[in-house]
């Protein structure tokens, strides 16, 4: 099976996936910026707080490939575009969603998202369906496409 080479290195890929998209902007306090920055571990991982942790950015840069997958009918993650680093717009958070390139963490390259993008490390896929309900066929096709 073409997937077996991927499984040999699975911990490296699983660790990067664990930090993936849902968490960074699905946090309900994110729209209350002061509380979010002060109390959220997610804000710290994103280097959005007062203290920048260069190690987070260095570690992010070590990953060879990120694949961001969005379910086009997802109702678990809000906004669903967050699965590909989109985020509620600071100017109109309930009506406008900023694309990844328009977010603060991308523009300021807070943890290396922009650096990864410029290095061609980000890939984007989507599937018609609800949160993480891609078919096994879709999942294996992406694994083969990007990691084998």
Least trusted range by pLDDT, from 3-12, 121-130, 134-143: 3-12
User: Taking the complete model, does pTM exceed 0.85, yes or no?
Assistant: no
Pick the CATH number of 4-147 from 3.40.50.1820, 3.90.105.10, 3.65.10.10, 1.10.3720.10: 3.40.50.1820
Residue (of 5, 49, 11, 51) closest to 30 by Cα position:
49
Give SS3 for 143: helix
| pLDDT tens profile 3-28 | 444 444 444 443 334 334 444 454 44
- Per-domain residue ranges of the chain: 4-147
What DSSP element (H or E) covers 62? helix 54-62
Q: Which DSSP state fits 146?
A: H
Q: How far is CA 49 from CA 84, 97, 107, 114, 131, in A?
A: 22, 22, 15, 18, 29
Percent of the chain with pLDDT over 90: 53
| pLDDT tens profile 74-113 | 999 989 999 999 999 888 888 999 999 999 889 999 999 9
Residue (of 109, 84, 81) closest to 97 by Cα position:
81
What pLDDT band is residue 32 in, cutting at 50, 70 and 90? low
**DSSP bridge partners of 67:** 123
Q: How far is CA 62 from CA 41, 121, 122, in A?
A: 21, 10, 13
- Per-position b or e across 85-109, b if 16+ CB within 10 A of its CB: bbbbbeeeeeeebbebeebebbeeb
- Beta strand segments in the chain, E: 66-71, 87-88, 97-98, 122-127
């Amino acid at each position: 099976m073409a997937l077996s080479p991927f499984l040999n290195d699975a911990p490296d890929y699983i660790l990067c996936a664990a930090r993936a998209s849902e968490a960074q902007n699905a946090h309900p306090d994110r729209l209350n910026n002061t509380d979010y920055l002060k109390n959220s571990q997610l804000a710290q991982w994103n280097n959005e707080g007062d203290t920048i942790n260069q190690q987070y950015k260095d570690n992010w840069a070590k990953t060879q490939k990120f694949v961001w997958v969005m379910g086009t009918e997802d109702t678990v993650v809000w906004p669903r575009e967050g699965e590909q680093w989109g985020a509620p717009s600071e100017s109109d958070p309930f009506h406008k969603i900023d694309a990844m390139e328009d977010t603060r963490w991308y523009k300021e390259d807070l943890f290396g998202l922009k650096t990864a993008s410029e290095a061609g490390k980000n890939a984007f896929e989507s599937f018609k369906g609800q949160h993480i309900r891609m078919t096994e066929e879709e999942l294996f096709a992406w694994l083969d496409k990007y990691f084998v």
